[in-house]
Amino acid sequence: MSYYCAIDGGGTQTRCAIADATRVLGEHTAPSAKPARRGYEESGLLLFDAILAACADADVPFNLLKGISIGMSGVWTEHERSQLREALYAAAHAAMYPLPRILLASDIENAVMGALGNDHGVVVISGTGSVAIGRNSSGALLRVGGYGPELGDEGSGAWIGRAAFQHMVRAVDGREQHTELTRRLASILQIHSADDVRVFIGDHRFDMAFFAELAPRVFEHAMHGLDEARDIIHKAAEELCLLAHGASAHFSAQPVPVCFLGSIAEQELMNHTLRQHIQADRTLQWAEPRGTALDGALARARSAWMPTAS
């Protein structure tokens, strides 16, 4: 029996699965191991611990793993992959475990594999950040967005939370009228003056996870009919559709199938809003994803190491 490990290393969490040729036998969810957030050494340790925990859940000994397929957020170049691979080997070596073969890819590449299989189309991912990848019939990839919160990540959880926060700051400053949404945020965050804003920003300036954590509150208020919250969600949906358009630029035939993945894109109100946008667009076509980035990582593992019939 051959066993495989598949890992989806996202910006919010790490999902790890142990599987055989046909079934997922065990899973474990851990905090994000993204190297840009943790550093490579800590990232390697977190990944190794997640693999051991998933093996325990599956009741599969670590030494029976035939291979480990990893998709990691922020790992795109060969240099980045090499550093992560070395960190994982170091973590395993310190615990006196021999590592099997490793496949390393970006979590985005695995999301495309999971959502589209071998077909062409566009995958838009919106979680803490956002990015779109188009794969045409020749297999060529085109990446759009994904530049991080400082330059973009439009339509993501961090973008939605920051948009609501900006409205609240402008209201505290007197540059906008307070709305029910801004009053509620100011009360929750205990921000009532410009001094409060400056102190708060000083503590959270580079904490994009904080802004992403505000997104569920925006969705909650939007579901309760607050117009300003709904406006933010609609604008986020427009931005995600613009990413889809950019990633469909190298397709010769239209309409182009588009899948949406990620915690924000899959939220009920956002999903409904995205569907409305796509249905009104003659150049794009709604497509249900076949699976997730974790499914894509597992498909890569099985393709690379599954025994072929002789």
Q: Omega before 289 cis (within 30°)?
A: no
Tokens for 270, please give them. Answer: 């956002």
On whether both 107 and 128 belong to a single domain, the answer is no
Which domain does 283 fall in, by range? 119-289
Q: Is the pLDDT confidence value at 29 over 90?
A: yes
On whether both 138 and 102 belong to a single domain, the answer is no
On whether both 224 and 156 belong to a single domain, the answer is yes
On whether both 182 and 156 belong to a single domain, the answer is yes
Sign of the alpha-carbon torsion through 135, 140, 144, 150? positive
For 13-31, b/e burial (b = at least 16 CB within 10 A) is bbbbbbbbeeebbbbbebe
Give CA angle at 21 (19, 23), nearest 5°: 50
* Contact indicator for 102, 85 with CB cutoff of 8 Å: yes
What's the pTM? 0.82
Tell whether 310 is covered by a domain: no
CA distances from 53 to 11, 251, 275 (A): 20, 42, 38
What one-letter code names the amino acid at 31? P
On whether both 150 and 193 belong to a single domain, the answer is yes
* Contact indicator for 218, 207 with CB cutoff of 8 Å: no
Q: Is the pLDDT confidence value at 190 over 70?
A: yes
On whether both 226 and 152 belong to a single domain, the answer is yes
On whether both 20 and 168 belong to a single domain, the answer is no
CA distances from 185 to 10, 156, 175, 189, 230 (A): 27, 19, 16, 6, 15
Tokens for 134, please give them. Answer: 């188009």
On whether both 258 and 162 belong to a single domain, the answer is yes
Rounded to 10°, the helix 180-189/157-173 angle is: 90
On whether both 22 and 171 belong to a single domain, the answer is no
Q: Is the pLDDT confidence value at 310 over 70?
A: no
Most confident of 51-65, 115-129, 150-164: 51-65
26-40, 45-59, 146-160: segment of lowest average pLDDT: 146-160
Nearest to 2 by CA among 293, 302, 294: 302
Number of structural domains the chain divides into: 2
On whether both 72 and 130 belong to a single domain, the answer is no
On whether both 145 and 73 belong to a single domain, the answer is no
Q: For residue 185, what is the domain's CATH number?
A: 3.30.420.40
Tokens for 162, please give them. Answer: 């920051």
Say what the pLDDT of residue 309 is: 40
Q: Is the pLDDT confidence value at 287 over 50?
A: yes
On whether both 64 and 159 belong to a single domain, the answer is no
Tell whether 189 is covered by a domain: yes
